[in-house]
């Protein structure tokens, strides 16, 4: 195989990753390794029971449970959690759940420098990134800082077995989006590109089995492995148009995070296809498809995720506002943002048309 290796930089992130069934039993021990014993435990209301289970690993009355983590990390929720953490005198943050819980944990760490133990129950990948997205005054903004990178991540496949098939599918496509954008990132490198292709392949092969046999430990294990790899890509290199659009859509119209990624990923790949041929070849290879765009669209259809932004609650009149916000700030992307082309792409995604090349 002929390879051309260009000049690059690669900065691996310093997180401790623990992988395996039943490993959530190690949470208190991992907190102790960080010299911590008074955690605030972050969950959503639906997963409060997991937080209560974690609390049992600590001495009575030494932990505090906050169960109001909310999608897109609204600042008012963060303020409440910070107040509880201060009142309880905590020395670390433990997040158990999906992106909402982990996002709030990061928001607390950003303000306090408290160490974090993240225990994900979905495939979103945020747990291995130094990225935080927060929503203030109706606008979601992201930043990169090592202050929010969890010190320890525990992947317990047992925690994913109860994740509904529809959420598993959307969450998995969300993870794949990280790897897709890593392959055409301005700061892409050979290491991250290898990780990205392997992550896409692992999820593409396992997610259909997760949908048809949700209790399959092997399928869930492979999907979790793929999600970790894709999340590692998200944390290592910069993201482009896809993530910009999804953050605008989520923060402005309160659309569900993973489902928005699932709708948009094939469309944005089509938008970028001609400007990033090597990335598209890697994606197609990982998907075992004729093209990246067709492969992503076909996988989404097979997984029966939503196909249209209108089905997620986005108003049609929001398309122009989305274009305006996407064009507002500069960001890296292989194809320069063009308002007319973006509008066409978003119109197709709003209706639910298949992804198609956009001139």
- Say yes or no: 213 and 105 in one domain: no
In angstroms, the CA 241 to CA 270 distance is 12
- Say yes or no: 206 and 335 in one domain: yes
Q: Is residue 109 part of a domain?
A: yes
**Residue 142's pLDDT is what?**
85
Q: How many CA atoms lie within 13 A of 101 on its CB side?
A: 27
Q: Report the mean per-residue pLDDT for the chain.
A: 95
At 114-127, the pLDDT tens digits run: 999 999 999 989 99
Evaluate whether 235 touches 149 at the Cβ level (below 8 Å): yes
Q: Of 130-144, 294-308, 334-348, which range is least confident?
A: 130-144
- Say yes or no: 188 and 48 in one domain: no
- Say yes or no: 135 and 228 in one domain: no
Average pLDDT of the segment spanning 162-170: 94
Average pLDDT of the segment spanning 121-140: 91
In angstroms, the CA 174 to CA 243 distance is 10
> Residue 4 above 90 pLDDT?
no
**Residue 1's pLDDT is what?**
46
Percent of the chain with pLDDT over 90: 90
Domain closes at, from 126, 159, 192: 159
> Residue 354 above 80 pLDDT?
yes
pTM of the predicted model, to two decimals? 0.90
CATH classification of the domain holding 25: 3.40.50.1970
Average pLDDT of the segment spanning 131-160: 93
Domain closes at, from 138, 159, 180: 159
Q: Is residue 252 part of a domain?
A: yes
Q: Is residue 260 part of a domain?
A: yes
Evaluate whether 129 touches 231 at the Cβ level (below 8 Å): yes
In b/e form, how buried is each residue of 22-53, taking b as 16+ CB within 10 angstroms?
ebbebbbebbeebebebbbbbbbeebbebbee
Q: Is residue 9 part of a domain?
A: no
CATH classification of the domain holding 252: 1.20.1090.10
Q: Is residue 118 part of a domain?
A: yes
Q: Is residue 11 part of a domain?
A: no
Residue-number span of the structural domain to which 96 is assigned: 16-159
- Say yes or no: 195 and 339 in one domain: yes
Distances (CA, A) of 295 to 22, 27, 162, 320: 34, 38, 27, 29
Domain closes at, from 159, 186, 212: 159
Average pLDDT of the segment spanning 126-155: 93
Average pLDDT of the segment spanning 281-299: 96
At 179-193, the pLDDT tens digits run: 999 999 999 999 999
- Say yes or no: 235 and 347 in one domain: yes
> Residue 14 above 90 pLDDT?
no
**Residue 8's pLDDT is what?**
84
At 77-111, the pLDDT tens digits run: 999 999 999 999 999 999 999 999 999 999 999 99
- Say yes or no: 147 and 170 in one domain: no
Q: Is residue 111 part of a domain?
A: yes
Token pair recorded at residue 234: 């998200």
Average pLDDT of the segment spanning 164-183: 96
- Say yes or no: 115 and 247 in one domain: no
Q: 354 burial class (0-12, 13-18, 19+ CB within 10 angstroms)?
A: middle
Q: Is residue 359 part of a domain?
A: no
Per DSSP, what are the bridge partners of residue 116?
A: 93
At 29-69, the pLDDT tens digits run: 999 999 999 999 999 999 999 999 999 999 999 999 999 99
- Say yes or no: 82 and 131 in one domain: yes
How many separate domains does the chain show? 2
- Say yes or no: 281 and 194 in one domain: yes
- Say yes or no: 71 and 149 in one domain: yes
- Say yes or no: 53 and 153 in one domain: yes
């Amino acid at each position: 195989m002929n390879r051309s290796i260009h000049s690059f930089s690669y900065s691996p992130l310093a997180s401790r990753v623990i992988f395996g069934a039943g490993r959530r039993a190690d949470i208190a021990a991992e907190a102790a390794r960080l010299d911590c014993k008074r955690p605030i435990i972050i969950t959503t209301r639906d997963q409060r029971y997991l937080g209560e289970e974690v609390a049992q690993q600590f001495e009575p009355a030494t932990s505090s449970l906050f169960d109001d983590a909310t999608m897109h990390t609204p600042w008012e929720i963060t303020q409440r959690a910070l107040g509880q953490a201060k009142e309880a005198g905590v020395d670390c943050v433990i997040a158990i759940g999906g992106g909402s819980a982990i996002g709030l944990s990061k928001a607390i760490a950003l303000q306090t420098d408290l160490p974090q133990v993240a225990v994900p129950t979905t495939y979103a990948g945020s747990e291995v990134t130094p990225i935080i997205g927060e929503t203030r005054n109706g606008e979601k903004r992201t930043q990169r800082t090592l202050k929010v990178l969890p010190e320890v991540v525990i992947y317990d496949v047992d925690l994913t077995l109860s994740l509904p098939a529809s959420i598993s599918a959307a969450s998995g496509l969300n993870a794949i989006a990280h790897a897709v954008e890593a392959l055409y990132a301005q700061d892409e490198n050979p290491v991250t590109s290898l990780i990205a292709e392997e992550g896409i392949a692992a999820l593409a092969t396992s997610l259909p089995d997760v949908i048809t046999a949700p209790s399959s430990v092997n399928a869930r294990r492979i999907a979790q492995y793929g999600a970790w790899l894709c999340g590692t890509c998200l944390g290592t290199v910069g993201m482009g148009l896809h993530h910009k659009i999804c953050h605008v859509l989520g923060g402005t119209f309160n659309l569900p995070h993973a489902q928005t990624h699932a709708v948009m990923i094939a469309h944005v790949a089509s938008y970028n296809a001609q400007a990033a041929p090597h990335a598209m070849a890697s994606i197609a290879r990982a998907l075992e498809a004729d093209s990246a765009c067709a492969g992503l669209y076909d996988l989404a259809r097979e997984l029966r995720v939503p196909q249209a932004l209108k089905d997620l609650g986005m108003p049609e009149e929001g398309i122009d506002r989305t274009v305006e916000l996407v064009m507002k700030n500069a960001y890296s992307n292989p194809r320069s943002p063009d308002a007319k082309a973006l509008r066409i792409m978003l119109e197709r995604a709003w209706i639910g048309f298949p992804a198609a090349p956009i001139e």
